[in-house]
Structure 1
């Protein structure tokens, strides 16, 4: 009896309500008490053999950069709303925010793009710059501009900083910062993101030239992130450096390449372990990050790049002979949920936006050696997806920055393997991809020779 009822038990679902006579098309099976005693619970039935389930590899999960849509902390949202409520005329906040947006757009691209020559990896080009910096509309951050920045710009910057610091926390298991220096802190955006990512931080310092910005940062961080704020960057060689030094959306406001280099080297002196530089994801922002990265690598032998580059050679997207930094540059994207105050400032009905950014994470010490049993050191050489992958029929096309300093296009076909193909299908812009391609790799930009290699060849 049980063997005959076993298949039947898979199809029967007993319901506790009366079946309407009008639904005559449904098939109803009535069982008496004797038959119900012989039914086997569904939980005790043997499961069918569905075969192995292909999941993403651990390496692909480790190289994943996605963190989902970023949401601002509720305490920060509450403090910004309180700051806006104290403003005497809320309509001026949107007017001031529009001026900030226009000033940021004015520095998005290089001027006279068709007339400027391409930069190359030579000492004079890095020091003086082959590209003229755009003439930015200078914004003096007074009390009105500081409030407008917090209400209209800060959420996007918070999202990109959170993504970069989350990657840093994920990639370096031995990095537990106790102190942080946020250069160009503005309303304390970097301090909020760092405190949310690294809970062990107990000493925070924010530096900004605008006193009104520092007042806003103190107001937003009151009772939540106690920090020390100052207007100028000071350095004492007798004092220990900061475990984490952050400069987000600040270097681009410096109108001279010489001052940019001086600032970057001062920040490196303040660093005892990790330096994080972030700029807007525009051609100018990318060029600023690439030059700052090269300044440190040229002057400091005891330094290496953690992310996003899998190498310490000059950036091929800026210094290569065939580079087109105005059309093809390295940047990434992070989505953020717009708080209500930002939607009102922008007069927007969409509650999300994408923040584009360029960044580099540099650490003191030699580049870690490869270890077969250590995924963390292996990830240093995994190619980085610098553009969204093209997912075609039975193959995925990826543009990556390779460990040899070249920009390569690799194809992962379905025939390469189930795990490799699934990892490629699930990959996204910004991920570090762990699998090499069995197909021929096409080099789009050759590696840039180092200065000593150029000297030896000449």
Structure 2
């Protein structure tokens, strides 16, 4: 291995030192402002790459533009909680309560050390019974100390996970979608619903709006004295007409104590004790109301499957039919993944249409309109009805069944799940609750689903009119084959060297749409001379792609630098299907016998009589295997009888009692 590879391996093994809490508000906007649309990023990065990045000229980035464009999550990767809109007001609200009281309440409610029953997923939680978050925004009864505990422990992780999902959604839908949100907010038409975050989702959406608004007004930053100078997050700087739009928000809070605290963090917000029922309202059902619906940690608390289904359908009905986006999110544990996967499956079967499935079977829980004529003629009810236009935005790049959700429902010991993680800097009050001194950051794990209603980028008209996308969104097996071949200069160079017939792909390959690429569901496996990527493909399969150094130095290097959740566009040399691991189960009796038989004479002590030995049943009676008949007591050759024996003297004669 050359010196460059040695240096790269050294970089991979470095340990990130403790990060200091950054108070600079300008870094908050960079979480999503630096993210460009797929077309703009690819075009700009490809030009820089072709101008000499291959040769390393000018000190430009050595990462391929398609790799940089399809990174997962916000930039920078570690989220700084907004100081002006959350950290400072929350610190002021919690200043009158001794930290030890909040810490005691948090450990009592959320399961002890590490708070395994909060948004956190510590290692100790794997040995405990899985439970949802023990405090939620729906509950009507919440004491003052519990509301303070919710604000101090649940809000930070909730905000970080929702921000991560929104950043990924904004990357996939592009700049045009984000600009439309800002324009709606400026016109007072943007409506946001937080259906489970108690306001954390609204804060995340408004940070997205603020970052996008500042990107749209970058030219005004040069003239600080202008009336249109950019406003700071706290509103103390900038012109009067230069504040970022907020949009109209609605937050679900069942408890008055939690509502009072959330109202101190949010403005232009309405608080409601329960969700409106749009599922059984025909006009609202086909029109919707909210442009963005954030529903974090709302499914696991519901015990029955039918209630979770109705809740998901109601949230879908609340979405605007003109491109409304809904984000559902649960903890990154097997049970949380099952909740999200079941909601995804239900939406695909009953709500979201696809080119191959434009109608759905009539569900008994959602009956159709009566088809009875009062004149006495009765017609048969139709077996299907049309689905609605919509699509999955993230994390899936396919509309098939989830390959990791082969076994439906609740499966004990499920090992392969689709989940992601996001690092954020803990605020000072959370550090005190956890009594953390060695680090000030945390990695929150979650499973999520982002869907859109009323728009489908798989249709060319929607892609051009609504979001001004130049790439063609293609999914299924053809998209997987093209991604395996690779895009960009790598694909063209291989086509020349291997006499590849480009006509079969419709000519020269253009920049791919990000939703046509496979996504890494696990961190890459780095080996000597090759990298292994576990990917969920656009055809709806789990595959393991191998990228050796002989395939392409650029692809090999980018694969080593890739991360969990990235989309992969540079192809691979080989691929195999990845089998979903089954749940962990106890060994059967037959397996116990095979294991014990290998231990020689000691096996007789564990034998239960199934393979020709002698054992004891549940009632203490002798149990004989095949080929062994009942004797009169005493010893058997090679075995010892377990249980009650006949009494005999030293000469072997029976002793009568």
Aligned pairs (5 A) from 1:54-453: 55-67=62-74, 68-75=77-84, 76-87=86-97, 89-102=98-111, 105=116, 139=135, 140-173=141-174, 174-176=176-178, 177=181, 178-186=190-198, 188-199=199-210, 200-221=245-266, 225-234=267-276, 235=278, 237=283, 240-272=288-320, 273-300=324-351, 301=353, 302-320=389-407, 326-349=414-437, 350-364=439-453, 365-368=455-458, 374=471, 378-445=513-580
Aligned residue for 2:433, secondary structure, equals: helix
Distance in 1 between residues matched to 2:575 and 2:521, nearest whole Å: 19
Contact 1:406 1:445 (C-alpha < 8 Å) held by counterparts: no
Distance 1:137 1:290, change over 3 A: closer
Q: Structure 1 residue 136: deviation in Å?
A: 5.9
Contact 2:419 2:447 (C-alpha < 8 Å) held by counterparts: yes
Q: Structure 1 residue 324: deviation in Å?
A: 8.3
Distance in 1 between residues matched to 2:110 and 2:131, nearest whole Å: 15
Contact 2:297 2:330 (C-alpha < 8 Å) held by counterparts: yes
1:90-119 Cα shifts (integer Å, max 9, x gaps): 42211111133219746989xxx9xxxxxx
1:199-248 Cα shifts (integer Å, max 9, x gaps): 35411111122232222110222xxx431111111146357521111101
Q: Structure 1 residue 260: deviation in Å?
A: 1.1
Aligned residue for 1:220, secondary structure, equals: coil
Q: Structure 1 residue 135: deviation in Å?
A: 6.6
Aligned pairs (5 A) from 1:30-49: none
Contact 1:180 1:204 (C-alpha < 8 Å) held by counterparts: yes
Q: Structure 1 residue 438: deviation in Å?
A: 2.4
Q: Structure 1 residue 367: deviation in Å?
A: 4.8
Q: Structure 1 residue 413: deviation in Å?
A: 1.3
Contact 1:397 1:411 (C-alpha < 8 Å) held by counterparts: yes
Residue ranges of structure 1 left out of the alignment (5+ in a row): 1-48, 114-132, 447-458
Contact 2:158 2:197 (C-alpha < 8 Å) held by counterparts: no
Q: Which residue of 1 aligns with 2:231?
A: none
Between the two proteins, the alignment pairs up a number of residues equal to: 370
Q: Which residue of 2 aligns with 1:38?
A: none
Structure possessing the higher radius of gyration over alpha carbons: 2
Q: Structure 1 residue 164: deviation in Å?
A: 0.6
1:48-76 Cα shifts (integer Å, max 9, x gaps): x9981272222212210143111111121
1:426-446 Cα shifts (integer Å, max 9, x gaps): 210011111332213333259
Contact 1:184 1:250 (C-alpha < 8 Å) held by counterparts: yes
Contact 1:384 1:400 (C-alpha < 8 Å) held by counterparts: yes
Contact 1:317 1:325 (C-alpha < 8 Å) held by counterparts: no
Distance in 1 between residues matched to 2:413 and 2:65, nearest whole Å: 34
Aligned residue for 1:205, secondary structure, equals: strand
Residue ranges of structure 2 left out of the alignment (5+ in a row): 1-51, 136-140, 182-189, 211-244, 354-388, 464-468, 474-511, 582-657
Contact 2:400 2:540 (C-alpha < 8 Å) held by counterparts: yes
Distance 1:228 1:91, change over 3 A: same
Q: Structure 1 residue 185: deviation in Å?
A: 2.7
Contact 2:155 2:197 (C-alpha < 8 Å) held by counterparts: no
Contact 1:412 1:438 (C-alpha < 8 Å) held by counterparts: yes
Q: Which residue of 1 aligns with 2:55?
A: 52
Q: Aligned-residue CA RMSD in angstroms?
A: 3.0
Distance 1:50 1:58, change over 3 A: closer
TM-score normalised over the length of structure 2: 0.52
Q: Which residue of 2 aligns with 1:6?
A: none
Distance in 2 between residues matched to 1:432 and 1:324, nearest whole Å: 30
Distance in 1 between residues matched to 2:108 and 2:73, nearest whole Å: 32
Q: Which residue of 1 aligns with 2:616?
A: none
TM-score normalised over the length of structure 1: 0.74
Contact 1:184 1:209 (C-alpha < 8 Å) held by counterparts: no
Higher mean displacement: 356-365 or 312-321: 312-321
Distance in 2 between residues matched to 1:275 and 1:209, nearest whole Å: 21
Distance 1:378 1:206, change over 3 A: same
Q: Structure 1 residue 313: deviation in Å?
A: 1.3
Contact 1:206 1:229 (C-alpha < 8 Å) held by counterparts: yes
